[in-house]
Amino acid sequence: MNDSKGRGSSRNGALFLENLALEANWPGPLKKPAAKKFANEYVASRRVSELAGGFKRMSTLHNMSNWVEKERFGLPEYLLRTCPASLREGRRLKTKFRLGCHDLRSSSCRMQLVRNAQCPCCESRESETIQHTLFECTAFEEEREVFLSRLYSVRPLARQLNDEYRCRLVMGHKLPREIEKTLYRYFIAISKLRLGILTEQGEGS
Ligand SMILES: [Zn+2]
């Protein structure tokens, strides 16, 4: 029997904790409040690094890494606010876009459900990304105009943003609350229109 065994389970338990402390760069013996604070900080740092690692590893999280604050814990602000039942579908769509698990070809293609990621709603031959759908696709111009005119009246500076940054604004946390409902209405409208176009083409997804 080696040294770590045979001295009873409490010795093994202590060894386990010692190794854990070593791994976490524990600065030596600590009193309870200090130990608690240190443990919390360690857990928080591990969660952040795991999330950041996921951003690199998982392609569906690629967009999310541009839009979310990596240091945030708990629910993002837009999910904490009350949302009328009629607009919840729009809010759900925002979350799906943020998570990369939406119906657009740029996501479903990755999951090998369709042959290519080309936008089925217009003639541009562009990949059907979130940015293309929300800000570029000609199929949704009317709905987009309604949304953008409201956005510019609330945030005039948004006029100067390019589509990539406009996308970051609507997907991120700094979207003014006054524009939130208009955004959800926009998401719901284009999602319905898109489904209509696909149904006409005989696909329906
Ligand atoms: Zn398009």
CA of 171 from ligand 1 middle (Å) equals 19
Q: Which of 64-68, 82-86, 187-191 has the lowest mean pLDDT?
A: 64-68
CA of 124 from ligand 1 middle (Å) equals 6
Q: Is the pLDDT of residue 45 over 50?
A: yes
What is the C-alpha to C-alpha distance for residues 120 and 109, in angstroms, rounded to an integer? 12
What is the C-alpha to C-alpha distance for residues 113 and 81, in angstroms, rounded to an integer? 34
Buried b (16+ CB within 10 A) or exposed e, 134-169: bbbbebbeebbeebbebbeeebeebeeeeeeebbbb
Q: pLDDT for 186-204, tens place per residue? A: 999 999 999 999 999 887 5
CA of 9 from ligand 1 middle (Å) equals 64
Give, as residue ranges, everything with CB less than 5 Å from ion ligand 1.
119, 121-122, 137
Where exactly are the structural domains of the chain?
A: 9-67, 79-200
Name every residue whose Cβ is closer than 8 Å to that of residue 158 and which is 6 or more positions away in sequence.
151, 152, 166, 169
Strand partners, 64: none
CA of 80 from ligand 1 middle (Å) equals 32
